[in-house]
Chain A
């Protein structure tokens, strides 16, 4: 399994405060992804990265920004947290040219509560 860690694992914050979630992978994967998972909606892609400093928006990117300064790290920032951003956030990574092309490997998740 890909070595993917997320920090923090749990966070409670107040509306209007900035929040940064960190994803770290040890597999030297080129691609990294941030998802949120909510009941009734499944997994929804927020942003993804296809290389250092190369990022693009997913289907629910409003209110979120990302940065990738190193291959192994992908940061997700909520500029000003809102209650609608209460969710479970998953990071994933994947490699092109691997045995399982197009596959993604997921981290353990971060549970975020915005009060």
Chain B
């Protein structure tokens, strides 16, 4: 079993839809959880950051962490064509300074 599992998609939705992206993990030591967005032929950029459990909201984006289930989610409300990208989850244990990435989910938002 991989440490981090992420459905690769591809996921195709109409503009305005609510998008749910998810990752599961097996290492209970993970405390830091991130979502990166990667546009085609670009480097990953940090989108959301959460420490430990709970929710975090930033505009149309909400990140959720459920440590009891070892499950993290990213929700995108009112999705836009500009949200079309690959979304990577990443996580780390305290003091590790190395990230474990999911393989990414390719999202296409159709106008």
Residues of B within 8 A of A64 (CB): none
How does the 8 Å CB contact mask read for B77-91 relative to A, with 1 for contact and 0 for none? 000000000001010
How many interface residues does A have (CB within 8 Å)? 24
- Bound together, the chains give a CA A96 to CA B92 distance in angstroms of 13
Interface of A is mostly: loop
How many residue pairs bridge A and B at CB < 8 Å? 50
Category for how many chain B residues contact A: 20 to 34
Residue of B nearest to A101 (CB): B32
Q: Does A63 contact B (CB under 8 A)?
A: no
Residues 23-74 of B contacting A (Cβ, < 8 Å): 32, 34, 36, 41-46, 49, 51
- Bound together, the chains give a CA A25 to CA B36 distance in angstroms of 19
Provided the pairs A101-B32, A102-B92 are in contact, do residues A109 and B99 lie with their beta carbons within 8 angstroms? no
Top 7 A-B pairs, shortest CB-CB distance: A42-B103, A106-B43, A102-B32, A102-B92, A43-B101, A106-B44, A100-B49
Q: Which B residues fall within an 8 A CB radius of A? A: 32, 34, 36, 41-46, 49, 51, 88, 90, 92, 94, 96-99, 101-104
